[in-house]
Amino acid sequence: MEPAAPPPAPAPPAGLVCAQGRNLRAVLCQRCGSRVLLPGAATFARRELLLPAMRKKAAAAAAGGGGDVLWEHWLVRDMFSFENVGFTRDVGNVKFLVCADCEAGPIGWHCLDDKDSFYVALERVAHE
């Protein structure tokens, strides 16, 4: 099976990204509304990432195969920029990001080979 071709590169989502490419609005958990990132804490990025289907943290860590290919993310360069995020156990060289309050996720992805890149999928979070 051939890899998915990237979708055309549309403009970043209107109302979510400032002229500098940073998030204009707070990023929240879709399930419980817990604040994940403050405005200005992340940069809009396009990258193909496969995230398992949304579920509780323990199930997300054990999930194998399947999931969603997502392209639009908030890129966070410092893990201390998060207001509220949890991590699954290592799945190969990846940790998935989950809501630290309700453990819904994965909402994002972090490769252990790159200590300064944390991706939060726009489709998996809400904005206020």
The answer as to whether 7 is a domain residue is no
Neighbours of 121 (CB within 10 A): 20
The answer as to whether 8 is a domain residue is no
Which amino acid is located at 111 in the chain? Answer: C
Count of domains for the chain: 1
The answer as to whether 2 is a domain residue is no
pTM: 0.85
Q: Which residue has the higher pLDDT, 1 or 48?
A: 48
Decide: 23 and 74 in contact? Cβ < 8 Å.
Answer: yes
The answer as to whether 46 is a domain residue is yes
Write down the pLDDT at residue 8. 62
The answer as to whether 3 is a domain residue is no
The answer as to whether 9 is a domain residue is no
The answer as to whether 88 is a domain residue is yes
pLDDT tens digits, one per residue of 51-84: 999 875 555 455 555 789 999 999 999 999 999 9
Both tokens assigned to 4? 């998915």
Which of 6-20, 53-67, 94-108 is modeled with the greatest confidence? Answer: 94-108
Please give the residue range of the domain that contains residue 53.
Answer: 17-127
CATH of the domain at 47: 2.170.150.10
DSSP 44-96: EEEEEEEEPPSEEHHHHHH--S--EEEEEEEEES-GGG-SS-EEPPPBTTEEE
The answer as to whether 4 is a domain residue is no
